[in-house]
Structure 1
């Protein structure tokens, strides 16, 4: 059986690949990654993977560089190099064999957070280790103190099963003791095991396709193409960064609390340091690490969020004139600094499971910091707060049911258009879960799912996006854990636009609709009874540009669509709407706007 220690391949690719072959190999890389992602979500059993597609997949070289990635959630694929570095430190046997399959999720050895299990398969060619095929996916339950999601726990050991370089297969043979350990330590063991098996199938397929590609074009050519494509992405990113004037750009914001200490808001400070064609995101000045799970693993999440921010801002596929390959090259010009012991770089063994809203706020503040010098690229403040809910209970059979759900938010107004309504957050693109799927598999019913109508979006020439309101009713006694943000710090307005609206979360029983409990933005293991409802209202985005420049016709359309009232149209936009005639009083509007400008 072929083995390999963690060292570089014997082939040092120096070949210059011609443009046509380069594009063919680029297409092959992208197709392999996409095929890996499709296999993973189509074979999975839990809705968070099967429907929401909370996953990532790709191929990697021996230096752990991302050669290609699936079009999945950015946090997943961008984090896998950190997982690979952590596996190099911890792998069973200290070496790879053909047929090995490794599972890894340790946040102090590179993972994004514990529920995101990575599956890694080594890629051998002619008896030598040449790379890796890997994926990550979020799992419904890994045996933590509360089902599915955890916030208020003292350390990383309370987050559930920790795997560090653990072999599920060794030389092709299953590690049955480890598989049994996994089955016996999860409330949703059937789903967990089936989803891991889907990950294994996906990674093995990626390894097979990688070898086929090398056999067709040759090892030197394939890896030379990979290096050229990474260099190309790096050049594009550096060119975009070089267009930003050198300087230090600062923005600050506040997180509601850490999930336990309700009266202590947590500061997030971002300093973007632009120097030539490189940039540093300095998080010095942000809050100290918390005593709960509301911390962010530095390697697997903090760094990835910063990479994501600049890829979105400078290499967006729609706004860029050229399409940059999704690979390691775009990460190279971006440096991240966070003091050890801070919320973005906690010291072990601090818990760090509930880390996603902090990452979104970091991206939101990077945009705010750069707004003065990139007015045509940034958007106003977004919800920037994932709503991640875990519902659970026990069936009459004694088996647990666990359901994980990601709720949508809203983006801020943009330079040339309104902010998108009811859209996933700044560094995620998970899909919403079909309500039919919910009713088929889980004892829950969705009572309400629509655009938020209790508060208006941020006013502006381009208004902020409208958040979602979703009311989920449990049909049995159970528990809810919820991670969200921005109940106190509204999305910011840009260039004269008004700020958006904070979020909120309510719990009530359908038999007593008048008795409503307003919940904090995050809470753990909240006990609920049959027919209790959790209604989540995501924040509305901030406005971009002066509301007085918004065309009166668009204001009228918003009013008629029920997005805000005629009174709000008059007060915020200076537009006088005749509701009976469904028209704008042009003369009254012109006069009112003149007075407001004065």
Structure 2
């Protein structure tokens, strides 16, 4: 690739901010077009996607405000495309599709669409996006977990041109159409991605035409340098040293008696940081592995952006671009769960990334007490429901269920929300009933277990019960059924997740499911009820204001007994008040017993 390396003139501050705004607007417009034009709910409603612009060195210039795992992974896709590109060369009018996890992709269902950006006959950059697709012909509909290798994940597309010099590659379009259970949705969603990428390329050229190539790329380089400088500045505020944390994943989706260790060592040296995953479990014989380039590294980048550059807590808003990645090194031994060897399957990779981020936060808690939060659900509930219509056509529905954050330094953990690496939205129940033979029987905050007690309590997870109306198959990827989210600084741990299957006509005949399972055959009227983990508590529960405890009791988030035993608060439920005298005496006894 031709990379522009010459020194560029400094762009004045006003123009710099105008171009920055233009970059961000282009990325947001790309994302908007993608989800508005898509047909499957995982993209159209949940917005499981990412979009942005990139230079010829594959630096991220801007990114849509969507799921971090998507946008941060596209540079890896671009490097993989360089290794595999059909023709070995980019032409104006090309459109490339790519999803190979051993050539930079995040995982196989996330198809990237990349369009080259030409200006005055020269390649100057790329417009690209990724989105999670409902079915790419894998061993089980929608999602896979218990499969032997990457070839069972469905279509592997590496540097393939959907269009060459503006002309559609009919053969590859037909190949894609004929190898998916949800062909029309898949093709229509890819077409939405193509429209989004082409729009990004068009807007990129318009920006260059307006301000000139030198000024636009000069501004891009300044913005990346600024993001890098701010990231390094924040890293340098962390005391140098090694910080460790570890946890255990439930199983690999097949070997139920074998937990998987996740060990994180964070090394801070000056203005640079390394995330070392040495000591984590060896790669698994199932799809429960993580592609290193497209997912493991991206999770580490996201972790430090959350810790150091959160828009809500930072004095200045730092642009989301390549600069924030540069001070961060990621290490994972080849052959481990976070860096598997080809041809190991690596489709079910999300919960491991979320736990890795959770442990980075835990490792740094002693030296960043005012920044970290307690343990979050740090999982994901990704469920694939599928069946066959009377016409013989498949229906496939992918759903992401919410979790909960841990308690924070100044507030309770948010309830029922995607967390850490995830940023998807829920799927409206009305949309479900309109398109899929399913009904949601229950969707509310979890009430069977309290969140982690603390001065700031953990967030409350969701409980969702989905009933199928036809014979169907369910595959479910989740975690944290055996290790509860951790409490911190005196806070109590949260609650583990649960997954139940039963029939609506016999709701007492319940099967307790593992956190992940593949291709479960169910009959009409069967229900899957998922309970996401509750977050851990932050700080001493005896410091929580009595009125907040009372509010939680009245809201049904905390029982009278739990208010007494965990918080030392004596609630009179009949009068809906706190007995302050009894509470003060009880809290004093509890403090004395703890000393």
Shorter-chain TM-score bucket reads: over 0.9
* 1:244 is aligned to 2:238: yes
Q: Give 1:126's aligned residue.
A: 120
Whole-Å Cα distance in 2 between the matches of residues 335 and 514 of structure 1? 51
Q: Give 1:329's aligned residue.
A: 323
Whole-Å Cα distance in 1 between the matches of residues 590 and 335 of structure 2? 49
Q: Structure 2 residue aligned with 1:515, among 509, 514, 526? A: 509
Whole-Å Cα distance in 2 between the matches of residues 95 and 15 of structure 1? 31
- Secondary structure of 1:86's match? helix
Q: Give 1:566's aligned residue.
A: 560
Question: Deviations along 1:422-458, whole A, 9 cap, x unmatched?
Answer: 0102111111000000000000000000000000000
Whole-Å Cα distance in 2 between the matches of residues 304 and 576 of structure 1? 47
* 1:163 is aligned to 2:151: no
Whole-Å Cα distance in 2 between the matches of residues 426 and 259 of structure 1? 23
Q: Structure 1 residue aligned with 2:2, among 7, 18, 26? A: 7
- Secondary structure of 2:367's match? coil
Show the 5 A alignment for 1:534-553: 534-553=528-547
* 1:404 is aligned to 2:398: yes
* 1:423 is aligned to 2:421: no
Q: Structure 2 residue aligned with 1:580, among 574, 592, 595? A: 574
- Does structure 2 conserve the Cα–Cα contact (< 8 Å) formed by 1:59 and 1:133? yes
Q: Give 2:254's aligned residue.
A: 260
Q: Structure 2 residue aligned with 1:528, among 496, 519, 522? A: 522
Whole-Å Cα distance in 2 between the matches of residues 12 and 399 of structure 1? 56
- Secondary structure of 1:112's match? coil
- Secondary structure of 1:371's match? helix
Whole-Å Cα distance in 2 between the matches of residues 429 and 539 of structure 1? 17
- Does structure 2 conserve the Cα–Cα contact (< 8 Å) formed by 1:58 and 1:67? yes
Show the 5 A alignment for 1:301-380: 301-380=295-374
Question: Deviations along 1:60-107, whole A, 9 cap, x unmatched?
Answer: 000000000000100000000000000000000000000000000000
- TM-fit CA distance, 1:564: 1.2
* 1:97 is aligned to 2:99: no
Question: Deviations along 1:183-205, whole A, 9 cap, x unmatched?
Answer: 00000000000000000000000
Whole-Å Cα distance in 2 between the matches of residues 129 and 455 of structure 1? 57
Q: Give 2:58's aligned residue.
A: 64
Q: Give 2:268's aligned residue.
A: 274
Q: Structure 2 residue aligned with 1:592, among 572, 581, 586? A: 586
Q: Structure 1 residue aligned with 2:474, among 471, 475, 480? A: 480
Question: Deviations along 1:403-433, whole A, 9 cap, x unmatched?
Answer: 0000000000000000000010211111100
Say what the alpha-carbon RMSD is for the aligned residues: 0.6
- TM-fit CA distance, 1:337: 0.2
- TM-fit CA distance, 1:13: 5.1
Whole-Å Cα distance in 1 between the matches of residues 315 and 344 of structure 2? 44
Whole-Å Cα distance in 2 between the matches of residues 244 and 7 of structure 1? 38
Whole-Å Cα distance in 1 between the matches of residues 2 and 11 of structure 2? 25
- Does structure 2 conserve the Cα–Cα contact (< 8 Å) formed by 1:357 and 1:484? yes
- Does structure 2 conserve the Cα–Cα contact (< 8 Å) formed by 1:40 and 1:202? yes
Q: Give 2:19's aligned residue.
A: 25
Whole-Å Cα distance in 2 between the matches of residues 68 and 539 of structure 1? 33
- Secondary structure of 2:535's match? coil
Q: Give 2:500's aligned residue.
A: 506
- Secondary structure of 2:29's match? helix
Q: Structure 1 residue aligned with 2:42, among 31, 37, 48? A: 48
In structure 2, the CA distance between the partners of 1:470 and 1:94, relative to structure 1 (3 Å rule), is same
Q: Give 1:413's aligned residue.
A: 407
Q: Give 1:3's aligned residue.
A: none
- Does structure 2 conserve the Cα–Cα contact (< 8 Å) formed by 1:12 and 1:220? no
- TM-fit CA distance, 1:12: 3.2
Show the 5 A alignment for 1:112-191: 112-191=106-185
- Does structure 2 conserve the Cα–Cα contact (< 8 Å) formed by 1:13 and 1:223? no
- Secondary structure of 2:316's match? coil
- TM-fit CA distance, 1:347: 0.3
* 1:469 is aligned to 2:463: yes
* 1:106 is aligned to 2:100: yes
Q: Structure 2 residue aligned with 1:80, among 65, 74, 77? A: 74
Q: Structure 2 residue aligned with 1:440, among 414, 434, 439? A: 434
TM-score normalised per structure 1: 0.99
- TM-fit CA distance, 1:7: 2.5
* 1:212 is aligned to 2:206: yes
- Secondary structure of 2:420's match? coil
Whole-Å Cα distance in 1 between the matches of residues 181 and 389 of structure 2? 12
- TM-fit CA distance, 1:8: 2.3
Shift >6 Å, 4+ stretches: none
Whole-Å Cα distance in 1 between the matches of residues 377 and 368 of structure 2? 20
Whole-Å Cα distance in 2 between the matches of residues 165 and 289 of structure 1? 26
* 1:297 is aligned to 2:291: yes
TM-score normalised per structure 2: 0.99
- Does structure 2 conserve the Cα–Cα contact (< 8 Å) formed by 1:13 and 1:220? no
What are the ranges of 5 or more consecutive residues in structure 2 without an aligned counterpart? none
Q: Give 2:447's aligned residue.
A: 453
